[in-house]
Structure 1
Amino acid sequence: MSTPSDPNARIKPAVAATGLDRDAVLATEALTKRFGGLTAVDSVDFTVDEGELRCLIGPNGAGKSTLLELITGQLSPTEGSVYFDGIDITDMPSHERIDAGLSVKFQSPHIYEALTVAQNLQIPLQRTDRADVDSAIRETLAEVGLADRAETPAGDLSHGQQQRLEIGMATTLEPTLMLLDEPVAGMSVEETASVAELIRSLNDDGMAFVVIEHDMEFVRKISDRVTVLNQGAIFQQGSIEEIEADEDVQRIYLGEDA
């Protein structure tokens, strides 16, 4: 008599990692990127749960931005896989990843400076089939604190306002997961606090985040869990309290007196 087959044997890896019965919305498996003899990302297994707010820290050259670009499809991996919401997106073009619910905001604002704030928000909405475009723009303007700047040319906004506008442009697509690369770089204390409040509010509404950041005060304000990257590999993971209490992290990343 034949032995029943393993019920999990035919489950696709993407579904096994990020399917309906899994908490994870994003998972990388042995993700590796080499540039000639340099290994920028070294066999990384990185998982983010649905609704989680994860910060990714580490020194310059640790591979943070390269990992982000592998997840978003800006770069193709040398080896390994990227799974998102039950789908293997390893070879998926960037624009299809956006349509699947994965949004990204890189460090420098990518806005249309000659257009108004409202017009900037209208552009990503053209990718959707939402009928309530005007309502969506009004809601997003209020959400990012730019309701009184709707008709202002985006180029006239402050640096912090431009960053909030671009986050707003990404949220109009209603992503499941948003990736942010140093969202408060170059901001004042007040602007940084405003962006922290915005990210927390969006996360409270269920949006998951991966945030690359050097500003540890900002990380303390927003993080649920922190991943430390070193030489392209995961060095440590845990709560912000655990990370800051780790002697190796203190010595290598936060400074001896951190």
Structure 2
Amino acid sequence: MSNASDPTIMSTPAVDRTGPDTDILLATEGLTKHFGGLTAVDSVDLSVKEGELRCLIGPNGAGKSTLLDLITGQLESSEGSIYFDGMDLTDLDTHERIDAGLSVKFQSPHVYEDLSVTENLQIPLQRTDRDVNETINRTLDRIGLSARRDVQAAELSHGQQQRLEIGMATTLDPELLLLDEPVAGMSVEETNEVAELIQSLNDDGMALVVIEHDMEFVDEISQQVTVLNQGEIFRQGTIEEIQDDPDVRRIYLGEEA
């Protein structure tokens, strides 16, 4: 996104909130999702800046994964808007949001186990004119799987499969990557490897939103933290501010305020 003003760009809510005159890459406004009588996401206003690494935390049932599904287009919103890089994504299909520069890696690995690591990485590149070999080599190096490029994905460890799927999500160099509990079920060593990968992606300029329960992991990677509770934004701030907030500890950890 360019920060230079372009007089040919018409003013719209999407441009005003996430266009070239702002440093905001993603913004939701009044984003709401009802499931019958249940409100899973309730009027959420969330902003993510260019190059920001934001963690999204909260107790089970807080609406974190539902919010991610709304942003990626897996779910249709009941109310509200989603703006990204000057575009209104609210009514776009998932593939159109990916074409706009947004990518996602869900909690459970969605790799093709009967294909090799390299073949898995080729899949997102099928609709592009990128140099496939160069992109795959760069991605393999980035995710630390160069030595296993010809191995079937089924033979990878859980942590390696998670890194492979992050690689699949980043082959197109998205401006924003959404990760849903990327270290769930991992060993300490695997968690550290994913933390290094996430920080490396962010150092390269990629913005990330990471949903996570592991507070040690959040402490290691986060720049800003958003706390969801009962579908609403409860608190936002640095990890230090969030950890020191007695109300956050009460709703997230069950501690007495």
Q: Same fold (TM over 0.5)?
A: yes
Counterpart residue number, 2:225: 226
- Tell me, what secondary structure is at the counterpart of 1:139? helix
What are the ranges of 5 or more consecutive residues in structure 2 without an aligned counterpart?
1-6
Q: Distance in 1 between matches of 2:172 and 2:127?
A: 8
Which whole-Å CA distance do the structure 1 matches of 2:137 and 2:173 have between them? Answer: 15
Partner of 2:253: 254
In 1: Cα distance, 2:227 partner to 2:214 partner: 13
Q: Which amino acid is 1:208 matched to?
A: A
Structure 1 segments, 4+ long, off by >6 Å, are none
Q: What is the CA-CA distance between 1:250 and the residue it aligns to?
A: 1.3
* Counterpart residue identity of residue 178, structure 2: L
- Cα distance, 1:257 vs. partner? 8.8
Q: State the Cα distance separating 1:194 from its structure 2 match.
A: 0.2
The equivalent of 2:128 in structure 1 is 128
Q: Which residue of 1 aligns with 2:70?
A: 70
* Deviations, residues 141-169 of structure 1 (Å, cap 9, x unaligned): 01100010000000100000000000001
1:84-103 equivalences in 2 (<5 Å) = 84-103=84-103
Give the superposition deviation at 1:256. 2.8
Q: Secondary structure at the match of 1:128?
A: coil
Aligned to 1:81: 81
Q: SS of the counterpart of 2:199?
A: helix
* One-letter amino acid of the structure 2 residue matched with residue 53 of structure 1: L
1:96-175 to structure 2, matched below 5 A, reads 96-130=96-130, 132-175=131-174
| 1:169-208 mapped onto 2 (5 Å cutoff) | 169-208=168-207
State the alpha-carbon separation in 2 of the partners of residues 209 and 50 from structure 1.
Answer: 9
CA–CA distance in 2 between the matches of 1:237 and 1:127? 38
Distance 2:254 2:215 in 1: 12
Q: Which runs of 5+ in 1 are unaligned?
A: 1-6
Which residue type is aligned with residue 176 of structure 1?
Answer: E
Instruction: Give 1:252 shift.
Output: 1.6
Larger radius of gyration: 1
The number of aligned residues is 249
Match of 2:133, SS? helix
Note the C-alpha offset of 1:127.
Answer: 2.3
Paired amino acid for 1:78? S
How far the C-alpha of 1:62 sits from its partner, in A, is: 0.3
- The aligned residue for residue 241 of structure 2 is 242
- Equivalent residue letter for 2:20: L
Per-residue deviation, residues 179-210 of structure 1 (Å, max 9, x unmatched): 00000000000000000000000000000000
Distance 1:254 1:165 in 2: 32
SS at match of 1:249: helix
Matches within 5 A, 1:48-67: 48-67=48-67
Corresponding residue number in structure 2 for 1:41: 41
42-51 or 248-257, larger mean C-alpha shift: 248-257
Structure 1: distance between partners of 2:148 and 2:42: 44
How many angstroms apart in 1 are the aligned matches of 2:253 and 2:219?
13
Cα distance in 1, alignment partners of residues 129 and 256 from structure 2? 52
